[in-house]
Amino acid sequence: MTANTANTSDNVEKFMDIRSVALAKILDEKGQGLKVVGIYCTFCPQELVLAAGAVPVGLCGTREDPIPAAEEVLPRNLCPLIKSSYGFALTDTCPFFAFSDLIVGETTCDGKKKMFEIMQDIKPVHVMQLPHQHKSPHSFALWVEEIRRLRSRMEEEFNVEIKDEDIWKAIDLVNREKKLLKDICDLNRLSPPRMSGMELLTVTWSSGFSHDKEVVVEMLEEFKDKLESREIEPDAAHKPRILLTGCPVGLGSEKVVRLVDELGAAVVAMENCSGYKTLELLTDKNGNDPVVALAHKYLNIPCSCMSPNPYRMELLDRMIDDFNAAAVIDLTWQACHTYNIESHEVKKLVKGKGLPFLHLESDYSSSDEESLKVRIEAMLEMMGK
Ligand code: SF4
Ligand code: SF4
Distance CA 220, CA 195 (A): 14
Is 16 within a domain? Answer: no
Question: From residue 218, how far is each of 12, 177, 244, 362 by CA, in Å?
Answer: 14, 9, 27, 36
208 touches ligand 2 (CB under 6 Å): no
Q: Which of 182, 303, 201, 184 has its CA nearest to residue 242?
A: 201
Task: Provide CB contacts within 8 A for 361, sequence distance 6+.
Answer: 332, 333, 334, 340
Domain of residue 55, CATH code? 3.40.50.11900
Is 152 within a domain? Answer: yes
192 prior amide bond cis, ω within 30: yes
Q: What is the pLDDT of residue 241?
A: 98
Is 228 within a domain? Answer: no
Is 209 within a domain? Answer: no
Q: What is the pTM of this model?
A: 0.96
Distance CA 343, CA 133 (A): 19
Task: Provide CB contacts within 8 A for 190, sequence distance 6+.
Answer: none
Give 128's strand partners: 106
Is 14 within a domain? Answer: no
Q: What is the pLDDT of residue 11?
A: 82
Q: What is the pLDDT of residue 6?
A: 52
**In the structure, which protein residues have their CB atom closer than 6 angstroms to any atom of ligand 1?**
41-43, 108-109, 248, 273, 301, 303, 305
Give the containing element (helix H, strand E) for 112.
helix 110-119
Specify the residue with its C-alpha closest to ligand 2, atom 8: 109
**Residue 39 domain boundaries:** 29-162+239-385
Task: Report residues of the chain scoring pLDDT below 70.
Answer: 1-10, 385
| 339 Cα to the center of ligand 1, angstroms | 10
| 43 Cα to the center of ligand 2, angstroms | 13
| Ligand 1 atom at minimal distance to the Cα of residue 304 | 2
Specify the residue with its C-alpha closest to ligand 1, atom 3: 108
Total tally of structural domains belonging to the chain = 1
Q: What is the pLDDT of residue 1?
A: 47
Specify the residue with its C-alpha closest to ligand 1, atom 5: 41
Is 361 within a domain? Answer: yes
Q: What is the pLDDT of residue 274?
A: 85
Distance CA 344, CA 168 (A): 40
Distance CA 232, CA 199 (A): 14
Task: Provide CB contacts within 8 A for 337, sequence distance 6+.
Answer: 109, 110
339 touches ligand 2 (CB under 6 Å): yes
Q: Which residues of 82-111 are buried (b: 16+ CB within 10 A; e: fewer)?
A: bbbbbbbbbeeebbbbebbbbbbbbbbbeb
Amino acid letter, residue 360: L
Q: What is the pLDDT of residue 384?
A: 79
Q: What is the pLDDT of residue 3?
A: 45
Is 290 within a domain? Answer: yes
Contact 41, 105 (CB under 8 A): yes
Nearest 5°: phi and psi at 333?
-70, 145
Task: Provide CB contacts within 8 A for 50, sequence distance 6+.
Answer: 56, 166, 170, 173, 174, 213
Is 57 within a domain? Answer: yes
How far from chain centre, in Å, is Cα 151? 23
Q: What is the pLDDT of residue 385?
A: 62
